[in-house]
Structure 1
Amino acid sequence: MKFTRALTLVVAMVATPLMAASNNVVDNGDQLKQKLSDTLGVEVQSLNQSPVPGLYEAITNRGVLYVSKDGSKLFHGNLYDLDNGMKNLTEAALAGPRMEAIKPFEQNMLVYKAKDEKHVVTVFTDITCGYCRKLHNQMAEYNDLGITVRYLAFPRQGVPSKNAVDMEAVWCSADPLKAMTDAKAGKQVSGAKCDAKIAQQYQLGQSLGVNGTPAIILEDGTMIPGYQPPEQLLQVLDSVQ
């Protein structure tokens, strides 16, 4: 990788989807994209005007970066709108593209569907994570509140690992939903192989900024890191409608 030690921390801390839409044109866009690629080793997917005059917003395969028009200065971090309730402008820019990146993986999700569905959340989960188990143990409560939970795999030990192999066994089980419940109860799930795309799910999570589990993606693409109790999650979901 072409990161310097400092820039490794800058770029790796925030991840993003692989696409973004904007009508703002950057005159020297090709040169800036090439400079960022050559200097940092990132792939720039889009380069647009940012909400701050004088800064461009670069959305890459490894992070969101803000760069000066002449390409001499780099800024990393979230932008907030002080006049709009401290709205996180960086998160808002990522929400739509994040959902687009998830769509191709819908067929790989393990879905616990609410009978009276009001909301759908996508959760990057691990079978050994304590708070993932806590969330799963309350699945009936989420469902009773009208919240459908869709799981994607994020083995915390990475890929390849025993963790990833165990999660593949869950996804490839004859009854994956029961196998997930068993695995999160600490039971051993019989090994099975299939095209579960565990590695791809893990890589997707990394590209979206997941660095721990559970990570909850709301319907608007907003990501909430960490466990949320059923009633609290419902309040959040109702507030973003």
Structure 2
Amino acid sequence: MRRNAVKRFSFKVGLLVLFAGFGFAEPEIFKRYGIKVLEERNLGSLRELLIERGGKKMLIYMSEDGRYLLIGALVDAKTGKNLTKERYREINRVDVSKLPLKEALRITFGKGSKKLIMISDPDCPFCRKAHAYLRNKDVDLYVFLFPLDIHPEAHTKSVKILCSEDRVKAYDTALSGGEVKADRCKDGEDRLKKHILVGQIIGVSGTPLFIREDGIRIEGFNLRELENYLGGKR
């Protein structure tokens, strides 16, 4: 079992132990285990709780009497909708108006009819696939660079992209597997710090990450969700 999976399992078991036999009206229990309730919704026979523990947000469901706890996806039996997934989309919605889009690399493909924000790593293989895919769309793309530690050359490449006279062309070269010719510079380092800060504020854990104009996230190169948002080929 992977380390992250073990942590998630331990956390869930800890929650089960925590809530067994306790009602929701015991706030000192939450304090003892470092759990903060951020939001509560009454769903009838269930209560939905948005909790935070160790900086991580999580949805859990509790029976009305506080005795039983459900950790996992809640599905509407009539429609088949994953209600938990939909709630997470709303909870994690990004306020696009607060993003410093003027700092991003702006690339217009086609007519640029749809705005899309992309968090990208120049050495990320799925970022490269996404870039090739977006070429055939009508999209106004705003790119923030977020080099991941697992790609040791990505930081240097990102700085060189931001040091280039034509940053959009340099980004396209990097995502196409070419070499960016520019030298590293202080301005590029400073620009990259701003890009990385955007990713940290959003809570990026992997690339690519897309943000629609309405603030809804698309995690990874999710072709179906991108198609639903951007439409077919131009």
1:83 counterpart (78, 81, 85): 78
Higher deviation after alignment, 100-109 or 186-195: 100-109
1:136 alignment counterpart:
131
Q: Does 1:194 align with 2:190?
A: yes
Cα pair 2:218 2:226 within 8 Å, conserved: no
Displacement after TM superposition at 1:128 (Å): 0.7
Equivalents in 2 of 1:164, 1:195: separation in Å?
Answer: 12
* Bigger mean CA deviation after superposition, 62-71 or 178-187: 62-71
What is the distance in 2 between the residues matched to 1:96 and 1:133?
28
SS of equivalent to 1:174: coil
Aligned pair 1:117/2:109, yes or no? no
C-alpha distance in 2, partners of 1:232/1:212? 17
Change (3 A) 1:183 1:67: same
- The SS at the match of 2:95 is helix
With structure 2 as the length reference, what TM-score do the two structures score? Answer: 0.66
Counterpart in the other structure of 2:103: 108
TM-score (norm 1): 0.64
Which amino acid is 1:186 matched to? G
- Contact between 1:214 and 1:226, CA under 8 Å: does it hold in 2? yes
What residue number does 2:56 align with? 62
Question: Does the aligned pair in 2 maintain the 1:158–1:202 contact within 8 Å?
Answer: no
Q: Which runs of 5+ in 1 are unaligned?
A: 13-26
Contact 1:96 1:220 (8 Å CA) reproduced: no
Change in 2 beyond 3 A, CA 1:203/1:173: same
Out of 143, 151, 166, which is 2:143 matched to?
151
Q: What secondary structure sits across from 2:93 in the alignment?
A: helix
Q: Is the 8 A contact 1:11 1:62 kept in 2?
A: no
Alpha-carbon displacement from aligned partner over 1:200-220 (angstroms, at most 9, x marks no partner):
234235x2xx54322333334
Task: Tell which structure's C-alpha radius of gyration is larger.
Answer: 2
- Residues 33, 47 of structure 1: 8 Å contact kept: no
Question: What is the RMSD of the two structures over their aligned residues, measured on CA atoms?
Answer: 4.0
Between Structure 1 and Structure 2, how many residues are aligned? 209
Instruction: Please report how far the alpha carbon of residue 175 of structure 1 lies from its aligned counterpart in structure 2 after TM superposition.
Output: 2.5
Task: Select the residue among 170, 182, 199 that pairs with 1:179.
Answer: 170
